[in-house]
Structure 1
Amino acid sequence: MTFVQMIDCKTDRVDELNRLLDTWVEQTRGRRTATHSLLAQDRSDGTHVVEIVEFPSYEDAMRNSNLPETDRIFQEMVALCDGMPTFTDLEVIRDEQLHKDVCARFFTEALPGDPGLLDGLLTRDYHDHDPANSPDVIGVEALRREVAMWRDAFDFTFTLEDQVAEGDRVCTRWTWEGTHKGEFLGLAPTGRQVSMTGTTVHRLHEGLICEGWWQYDRLGLMGMLGALDM
């Protein structure tokens, strides 16, 4: 279970504290067990600073604490603070990455299942960048027509292989599998089982997907459909 350590302190030397943490990151490279570190400053009291450090588990946090560099940096941190920093140890009981959930529903529910769900997942002016489409597809209704073209041609599903979220972006690596049941780009239905892999980066705004960039193996798909046979 993920473990989080929160370090709360008071200091008017925030810039020095920030540089000190840079030193810790550099000196523990390749040996630290922390996976995420965040330093935050109180908007109403600039001397109130909180560092939040995430670990895969409590045991990993303890191994990190036992690094000689961690102990040395902590002593230097104490010297920058007004009094001893306080520690809060937290076992994470819920970690819901909302942007990733929205994008997952886009692939696994809206595209292969109910395109009506797009209204609750996309902004009205959604902008889709697909190298196979020129000009870009813009707007929910335009994307719904694009999805309908794929659904008329294939019964398909997406399997999400990886998702990485940072800020307002979510990157999803996926595998698409389908049965060619209808005309696709002039090709009569073949009944063939086909698949392709791809990656999509989505940008979100206020909890909705507002932009998407696609990269996928359409050439490989056309080959499986027999369009490239000599």
Structure 2
Amino acid sequence: MTFVQLIDCRTDRFDEMNRLMDRWVEQTRGRRTATHDIVGKDRSDSSHFIEIVEFPSYEEAMRNSGLPETDRVFQEMVALCEEAPTFTDLDVVRDEQLNVLAARAFFEAMGRMEPERVGDHVTEDYVDHDPAYLRPVQGVEGLREQYADWKAAFDFGFRIDGQLAEDDQVCTRWTWAARHKGEFLGIEPTGQDVTMRGMTWQRFTGGRISESHWIYDRAGLMEQLGVLGR
């Protein structure tokens, strides 16, 4: 279970504390078990800071605390604070990146939903960058037409192989599996089962996708359809 430690302190020497933490990061490279660190400053009190440190588990946090560098940094940190820092230990019981959930819902719906429903997932000013198209596809209607073309040509679905998120962006690595049932780029239906791997970078606004960039093995798809190599 993921474990989070909150460190609450007051100091007017934050720049020194920041340099102290940079030194700890450098000195513990390859041995520390902390995976994520966030420091927040109280908007109503500029000397009040809370640090949030994430670990894979409580046991890993204890291993991290046992590093000699961690103990030295803690002693120096105490000297920079107006009073002794306080610690709160938390077992994480819910951890959801909402944009990741929205991206997952989009890919799970692709192939199953009707074209009229694509607006459920994207913003009105959505922009889609797809290497199969000469220009970016603009807006809900543009995406609806693009999706309808793929849906008419293939019965398909996506399997999500991995996702990474940062700020308002999500990158999804996927495998696409389909059966060629209709005309596609001038290719008559073959009934062929095909697969394709790719990645999609997406930006989110208000929980909906506002921009997508697709990268996928289009040449491999064309080869499976018997076009390349003829």
Q: Which residue of 2 aligns with 1:180?
A: 180
Q: How does 1:18-167 map to 2 (within 5 A)?
A: 18-109=18-109, 111-114=110-113, 115-167=115-167
Q: Which residue of 2 aligns with 1:225?
A: 225
Q: Write the distance in 1 (CA, Å) between the matches of 2:179 and 2:95.
A: 36
Q: Write the distance in 2 (CA, Å) between the matches of 1:143 and 1:197.
A: 21
Q: Write the distance in 2 (CA, Å) between the matches of 1:97 and 1:90.
A: 18
**Structure 1 gap segments, 5+ residues each:** none
Q: Write the distance in 2 (CA, Å) between the matches of 1:177 and 1:98.
A: 26
- The aligned amino acid for 1:33 is T
Q: Write the distance in 2 (CA, Å) between the matches of 1:229 and 1:191.
A: 19
Q: Which residue of 1 aligns with 2:199?
A: 199
Cα offset, 1:229, TM superposition: 3.2
Deviation string for 1:91-144 (max 9, x for gaps)? Answer: 0000011010111111111x2111444222211010111122111101011101
SS in structure 1 of the partner of residue 22 of structure 2: helix
SS in structure 1 of the partner of residue 34 of structure 2: coil
* Larger deviation, residues 129-138 vs 38-47: 129-138
If the length of structure 1 is used for normalisation, what is the TM-score?
0.97
Aligned residues: 229
Q: Structure 1 runs of 4+ off > 6 angstroms? A: none
Q: Which residue of 1 aligns with 2:168?
A: 168
Q: Write the distance in 2 (CA, Å) between the matches of 1:16 and 1:61.
A: 24
Q: Write the distance in 1 (CA, Å) between the matches of 2:117 and 2:51.
A: 39
SS in structure 2 of the partner of residue 37 of structure 1: strand
Q: Write the distance in 1 (CA, Å) between the matches of 2:40 and 2:10.
A: 12
Q: Write the distance in 1 (CA, Å) between the matches of 2:112 and 2:66.
A: 51
**Structure 2 gap segments, 5+ residues each:** none
- The aligned amino acid for 1:136 is P
Q: Write the distance in 2 (CA, Å) between the matches of 1:178 and 1:45.
A: 57
SS in structure 2 of the partner of residue 34 of structure 1: coil
If the length of structure 2 is used for normalisation, what is the TM-score?
0.97
Deviation string for 1:50-108 (max 9, x for gaps)? Answer: 00000010000000000011111111110110110000000000001101011111111
- The aligned amino acid for 1:112 is G
SS in structure 1 of the partner of residue 17 of structure 2: helix
SS in structure 1 of the partner of residue 131 of structure 2: coil
CA RMSD of aligned residues (A): 0.9
Cα offset, 1:218, TM superposition: 0.5
SS in structure 2 of the partner of residue 99 of structure 1: helix
SS in structure 2 of the partner of residue 140 of structure 1: helix
* Percent identity for Structure 1 against Structure 2: 60
- The aligned amino acid for 1:169 is Q
